[in-house]
Amino acid sequence: MKPNLLTTIRFISLFLVIAADWAQFHYLALIFLFFGFCTDYLDGLVARKYKKGSEIGIYYDHFVDKIFVHLLLIYYLSQNLLGFWVVALLILRDYLALGFRQYALSQQTNIASVQSGKIKLVAQGMLLMFIALGRILPFSTTIVEKTSFIVVVWSFGSLVDMGWKNKSIFKKLWKEL
């Protein structure tokens, strides 16, 4: 199996999650969501194990990761299952990271993913799974808010970690600002 095919399947599963949830097939939405996150794990595994990684595959995977999480955050916001502040801060964090990566590329430097960033994606995925599960087994809104707070804090912590591990680029950027 090709890693980019798995990434494409994840992209399609995003719309299946939203359609199933919107049609109130919450169990099915949860299954599609879980499947989507499994394909995220598998595409990287296949690429590394069978040496099928490519430059386009790296960008495609990263793009689909962001679209998958951001559209689900916005969808759950539209369903009043998540606060605006959570969605705004998580998307802002990703744009700040993207801007930092773009600046680094303009300086002929590639910013590698940091472990805390990978954990961030897992934490965001768990939050989304938790919300989807809450459609089946309703949780207190306080639990979702506290979980959201932890995910937002971790997400910004991973941004700081990325800057710290690439402080020479960060210092150049800071001087230019």
Q: Is 64 exposed, middle or buried (0-12, 13-18, 19+ CB in 10 A)?
A: buried
Q: What is the pLDDT of residue 9?
A: 95
Residue the block writes with tokens 């808010």? 145
Query: Using CA atoms, how far apart are residues 32 and 10, in angstroms rounded to an integer?
Result: 9
In this prediction, residue 143 carries a pLDDT of 85
- What pLDDT does residue 82 have? 95
Give 74: exposed, middle or buried? Use CB within 10 Å, 0-12, 13-18, 19+. Answer: middle
- C-alpha to C-alpha distance for 96 and 119, rounded to whole angstroms: 18
Range of the domain at 115: 3-176
Give the model's pLDDT for residue 83. 95
CATH at 98 = 1.20.120.1760
Q: Is the distance from CB of 49 to CB of 16 less than 8 angstroms?
A: no
**What confidence score (pLDDT) does residue 54 get?**
80
The SS3 call for residue 117 is: helix
pTM for this model (two decimals): 0.92
Instruction: Give the pLDDT of residue 3.
Output: 85
Per-residue pLDDT of the chain (177 residues; tens, 9 = 90+): 788 899 999 999 999 999 999 999 999 999 999 999 999 888 888 878 887 778 788 889 889 999 999 999 999 999 999 999 999 999 999 999 999 999 999 999 888 888 998 899 999 999 999 999 999 997 778 888 999 999 999 999 999 999 999 999 989 888 988
Count of structural domains, the chain: 1
